[in-house]
Structure 1
Amino acid sequence: MFDFSGFASVNLETVIAAVALIGTAVAWLVDRYVLRRKRLVYRVQVDARIGVYPHAGQTQRMVDVEVRHQGAVVPDPSIVLLRLDNAGGMDIDPHDMHEKIAFAFPDRKIVGLKVTEAHPHSLGEMLERRLSPAHFVDTSKLVLPRIAINRGDHFKFLLVLSGTGQGVGHSGYLAGGSTGGGVYHEPRPRGPGRRTLLFGALSMVLVGALVAFFLVDVLQPPKDCSSGQLRVIGSTAVEPTMRELRTAYAAECTSADITIAANGSRSGVRGLAELGAKDAVQASQQIAMSDGPAESAPELRGSPVAVVVFAVAVNRSAEVTALTTTQLRDVYNGKLTNWKQLGGRDLPIRMVSRVGPDSGSRRVFREKVLAGDQELGISSDNCARDDDAVAKYHRCEVGTTEELLTRVNEIDGAIGYAELGSARKYPQISLAAIDGVAPDTAKVADRSYRFWEVEHAYTYKTPEAKSLTAAFLDYLRSSAARPVLERGGLLPCGDLPTGFCG
């Protein structure tokens, strides 16, 4: 039994400090990881008139620096350097900008504008193209185009203005996220941005120490670890998530030797069944992950783990962030071959697909988006250049999800399909809304977003109760695995309505 007598020696100040620290850290963690706001933060880094002023006590008049634009003198010139960051926990999609976001410069007019320090670089190029001079010159307002701004993206506007006013204001509304979102003004930070991270890390360390000191004897659950060897094969869509889960499990259960060797959903399940027919003992030490239910195999046992959400990935150069299922079918059957036909840039559409019928991602895309239609033949081996000189479309195939996303990220005009959590990590990729609904785990339960599938874990027969196979399966379905699954864009079946996962 836990002894509370030790609390008598703890003074009131210590208790208050501990509670305050825990409260601060919890608030920071909730705001960063639970509320998942969509936040667009702007900072006015420079707002100054252009001129050389005399020192105090000097009588000579100010020496003005003459600024000319297109041959004409700019009266009362000033410059503004405006930085914008996606500082929230979610990507910002074009349709999140319910009201146009604008920045106003009272009593001043914009003379010229340049996009600087954009990350990624393609985001800056897109803004330069979308912000033609006709949109802002001789106005006192800069209207931000409706574009996709992924987590961690940032860019700066350098503006030359004319007029005697000062200050910058903003208008517009940004929606989205589990608790909404918004546009926020943030004063220039006193120090490097890493201070926020340092504060968060320090808070977590101190809170962890306090919790360990006071509650370790009553809250620490018994560990159900099993030793041995296990090989996880199958879906490449969930491979990054499985690697993270393996690392988390092995950190607690150090005698577990777990290997991740993704080879495609159908390949994994078929290989497990074939191995079981030859070597039942070795087969009992494997788990095959499958995007969707596998074909019937009498000796295999499958159980749903989570819903894996997929997304259509488009290279940002296309400047298309929303597609209908009809448009996607017309792209993949060769009727639409240029992004200009979809309201984007004059670029050829380059389809990057997964190889053959063994890919679960390809099967889900065909069933959920293409309504059962098959994809076209291959016109290119390297995706960027066509080997078939007479092909009217551009299409290649790759072996894994990582390869697909790498190609889409690198090639102008590329499009593909992949698991949501992995696709979010590539800076040159926009995740297209389908039929007006953005890819989001929150849109799965009500079935408004339809490009998803249930991820199953298959074993050869029912694993023995104390085996590493059984223990790792239990871990996949446990609350400890939930944060890892959610980071990977998966929804644990336990969080969904009864019967949702089958």
Structure 2
Amino acid sequence: MDFSGLGDINLETIIAFVALIGTAVAWLVDRYVLRRKRLVYRVQVDAPIGVYPSADKTQRMVDVEVRHQGAVVENPSIVLLRLDNAGGMDIDPQDMHEKVSFAFPDRTIVGLKVTEAQPKALGEMLQRRMVPANYVDTSKLVVPRIAINRGDHFKFLLVLSGTGRGVSHSGYLAGGSTGGGVYHEPRPRGPGRRTLTFGALSLLLVGALVALFLVDVLQPPDNCASGQVRIIGSTAVESTMREVRTAYAAECTDADITIAANGSRSGVRMLAETGARDAGAAANLIAMSDGTAEDAPDLWGEPVAVVVFAVAVNRSADVTGLTTAQLRDIYGGRVTNWKQLGGRDLPIRMVSRVGPDSGSRRVFRDKVLAGDPELGISSDDCRRDDPVARHHRCEVGTTEELLTRVNEIDGAIGYAELGSTRKFPEVTVASIDGVVPDAAKVADGSYRFWEIEHAYTHKAPEPGSLTAAFLDHLRSAQVRPVLARGGLVPCNDLPGGFCG
């Protein structure tokens, strides 16, 4: 085999290769480890309006006249500006410490439209909010303080007057474990051989590094056990428990683990009743509960993590923050339209969890409504109401159903654990009393809508059993990233004594 060609590799190539690896590593760390909040903008079009058949733009063969509100726009041009939440976290209204704005030197704005938004409701909200003069002045576009979830994007199409060119931005975006910012993404250049070569190499290196990163984070369980376990109880942590179960069973192939979430109190009650009837069968049950099992004090249990709950609002309401008093007025029937709270003229449609067996409902009642009960049901499907009802409220059985309804129905509001809300693009997580739900806000006591998640068994699990092994895995460092994705904070990551 001839290796003589290796001598042709020069220092520049080596430096470029090392820089490429460094860039890939930096991108991975920034995107998946540091968890920044990033708002990226790209100027997709910045051009004068007119038809120029030759390179000499002074020789116009066709003149285009642009009018705005009856007046001729002098030296018209258009700008198409795209903004993306390209970070690893949702952007909350409070993250915009200094308003994000875009300036157009030597040009004035004469027209504006929000186009191509994802999700659509985000674009509609922006279009409504861009009307007031405080968001558009003669030379600057100011982005309103709104919630921009991960993956959201939107475009501003502007008509301007003036001879200037170029776009600049200002403002400060904070948030995430290492802060955040507003970044400019240049327009991509045309593809070439070198671009394609380095692009392919980048993908190869990034793929390899992602694989290494995932191997490091998603480690196999410390111990495997065989047998059967059924996990019942809280629907708030159902999706997280499914992910933990799947990861465990993939490595421990003799483990048969099923998930049958039925509500916190229902799960605890089923565990207690099964234990009284058949202790052997109860040994294969784990009941997850939002809060302590007050109705079954003889069960064996331990705190696992803190569940951060959130108030979820459909984006159509155009409301991103509520006070505790306003929430009590909504659920007490005293406020029935979002217009009364500064939002759109839409009826408020409350989507709640069914009955007292829901841990989420109990936590919402105790920590937000100060013990007040919710109103009666006016609708079976959350859309069609009793014609004489003064309020709009329905009930559903699971967290997934609740968020699906809030995501689909204009003016809807509900409550659920924070991690699940991120999967629904039409849902805005509302701040409560000016505080956005976040693990750090729970730890410092400023956010109150949370509960400690407990894992209950009939008796202390037998050493070597699948029940004991799975609970050990649930407490382990390997599972922490999974809990974090689901909006849960492991008790070990909180100050001593926080979980009791």
TM-score normalized with structure 2 length: 0.90
Question: How much has 1:145 moved relative to structure 2?
Answer: 1.5
> What SS does structure 2 have at the residue aligned with 1:356?
coil
Q: Deviations over 1:310-356 (max 9, x none)?
A: 00001111111111111111111111111111111111111110000
Query: Corresponding residue for 2:242?
Result: 243
Is this contact kept in 2: 1:25–1:207, CA < 8 A? no
Give the Cα–Cα distance (whole angstroms) in 1 for the partners of residues 263 and 497 of structure 2. 26
The partner residue of 2:422 within 421, 424, 434 is 424
Question: How much has 1:205 moved relative to structure 2?
Answer: 2.5
Query: Corresponding residue for 1:286?
Result: 285
Letter in 2 for 1:205: A
Q: Map residues 342-361 of structure 1 onto 2, 5 A cutoff.
A: 342-361=341-360
> What SS does structure 2 have at the residue aligned with 1:53?
coil
Give the Cα–Cα distance (whole angstroms) in 2 for the partners of residues 197 and 280 of structure 1. 59
Letter in 2 for 1:229: Q
Give the Cα–Cα distance (whole angstroms) in 1 for the partners of residues 265 and 201 of structure 2. 45
Q: Map residues 144-159 of structure 1 onto 2, 5 A cutoff.
A: 144-159=143-158
Letter in 2 for 1:412: D
Is this contact kept in 1: 2:85–2:150, CA < 8 A? yes
Give the Cα–Cα distance (whole angstroms) in 2 for the partners of residues 501 and 482 of structure 1. 16
Give the Cα–Cα distance (whole angstroms) in 1 for the partners of residues 56 and 128 of structure 2. 48
Is this contact kept in 1: 2:87–2:150, CA < 8 A? yes
Query: Corresponding residue for 2:374?
Result: 375
> What SS does structure 2 have at the residue aligned with 1:444?
helix
Q: Map residues 119-268 of structure 1 onto 2, 5 A cutoff.
A: 119-132=118-131, 134=133, 139-190=138-189, 199=202, 202-205=205-208, 223-268=222-267
Give the Cα–Cα distance (whole angstroms) in 2 for the partners of residues 55 and 285 of structure 1. 80
Is this contact kept in 2: 1:289–1:456, CA < 8 A? yes
Q: Map residues 458-477 of structure 1 onto 2, 5 A cutoff.
A: 458-477=456-475
Is this contact kept in 1: 2:406–2:414, CA < 8 A? yes
Is this contact kept in 2: 1:111–1:137, CA < 8 A? no
Is this contact kept in 1: 2:221–2:478, CA < 8 A? no
Q: Deviations over 1:286-323 (max 9, x none)?
A: 10000011125355210111001000001111111111
> What SS does structure 1 have at the residue aligned with 2:443?
coil
Q: Map residues 7-86 of structure 1 onto 2, 5 A cutoff.
A: 24-55=23-54, 61-86=60-85
Query: Corresponding residue for 1:93?
Result: 92
> What SS does structure 2 have at the residue aligned with 1:486?
helix
Question: How much has 1:32 moved relative to structure 2?
Answer: 1.2
> What SS does structure 2 have at the residue aligned with 1:98?
strand
Letter in 1 for 2:282: A
Query: Corresponding residue for 1:452?
Result: 450
Give the Cα–Cα distance (whole angstroms) in 2 for the partners of residues 156 and 210 of structure 1. 34
Give the Cα–Cα distance (whole angstroms) in 1 for the partners of residues 31 and 389 of structure 2. 48
Letter in 1 for 2:281: Q
Query: Corresponding residue for 2:7?
Result: none
Question: How much has 1:256 moved relative to structure 2?
Answer: 0.9
Question: How much has 1:175 moved relative to structure 2?
Answer: 1.8
1:487 and 2:485 are equivalent in the alignment: yes
Question: How much has 1:375 moved relative to structure 2?
Answer: 0.8
Is this contact kept in 1: 2:36–2:180, CA < 8 A? yes
Question: How much has 1:191 moved relative to structure 2?
Answer: 8.1
Query: Corresponding residue for 1:109?
Result: 108
Is this contact kept in 1: 2:234–2:261, CA < 8 A? yes
Query: Corresponding residue for 1:386?
Result: 385
Query: Corresponding residue for 1:318?
Result: 317
Give the Cα–Cα distance (whole angstroms) in 1 for the partners of residues 200 and 341 of structure 2. 41
Is this contact kept in 1: 2:220–2:248, CA < 8 A? no
The partner residue of 1:401 within 399, 402, 406 is 399
Query: Corresponding residue for 2:410?
Result: 412
* Worse overlay, 327-336 or 92-101: 92-101
Letter in 1 for 2:107: R
Give the Cα–Cα distance (whole angstroms) in 2 for the partners of residues 123 and 209 of structure 1. 36
Letter in 2 for 1:310: F
Q: Cα distance 1:64–1:300, how it changes in 2: closer, same or farther (>3 A)?
A: same
> What SS does structure 2 have at the residue aligned with 1:305?
strand
Query: Corresponding residue for 1:3?
Result: none
Question: How much has 1:70 moved relative to structure 2?
Answer: 3.2
Percent of paired sites with the same residue: 80
Query: Corresponding residue for 1:9?
Result: none
Is this contact kept in 1: 2:221–2:251, CA < 8 A? no
1:366 and 2:365 are equivalent in the alignment: yes
Question: How much has 1:471 moved relative to structure 2?
Answer: 0.4
Give the Cα–Cα distance (whole angstroms) in 2 for the partners of residues 230 and 304 of structure 1. 19
Letter in 1 for 2:468: A
Give the Cα–Cα distance (whole angstroms) in 1 for the partners of residues 331 and 213 of structure 2. 57
Give the Cα–Cα distance (whole angstroms) in 2 for the partners of residues 72 and 160 of structure 1. 13
Give the Cα–Cα distance (whole angstroms) in 2 for the partners of residues 207 and 345 of structure 1. 44
Letter in 1 for 2:413: I
Question: How much has 1:420 moved relative to structure 2?
Answer: 0.1
Question: How much has 1:100 moved relative to structure 2?
Answer: 1.8
Give the Cα–Cα distance (whole angstroms) in 2 for the partners of residues 343 and 58 of structure 1. 49
Query: Corresponding residue for 1:10?
Result: none
Is this contact kept in 1: 2:303–2:453, CA < 8 A? yes
Is this contact kept in 2: 1:111–1:138, CA < 8 A? no
Letter in 1 for 2:208: V
Query: Corresponding residue for 1:8?
Result: none
Is this contact kept in 2: 1:21–1:207, CA < 8 A? no
Give the Cα–Cα distance (whole angstroms) in 2 for the partners of residues 428 and 268 of structure 1. 31
Question: How much has 1:477 moved relative to structure 2?
Answer: 0.3
Q: Cα distance 1:56–1:437, how it changes in 2: closer, same or farther (>3 A)?
A: closer
Question: How much has 1:26 moved relative to structure 2?
Answer: 4.3
Give the Cα–Cα distance (whole angstroms) in 2 for the partners of residues 88 and 498 of structure 1. 31
Give the Cα–Cα distance (whole angstroms) in 2 for the partners of residues 201 and 461 of structure 1. 51
Is this contact kept in 1: 2:25–2:209, CA < 8 A? no
Letter in 2 for 1:81: L
1:501 and 2:490 are equivalent in the alignment: no
Give the Cα–Cα distance (whole angstroms) in 2 for the partners of residues 477 and 19 of structure 1. 39
Letter in 2 for 1:91: D
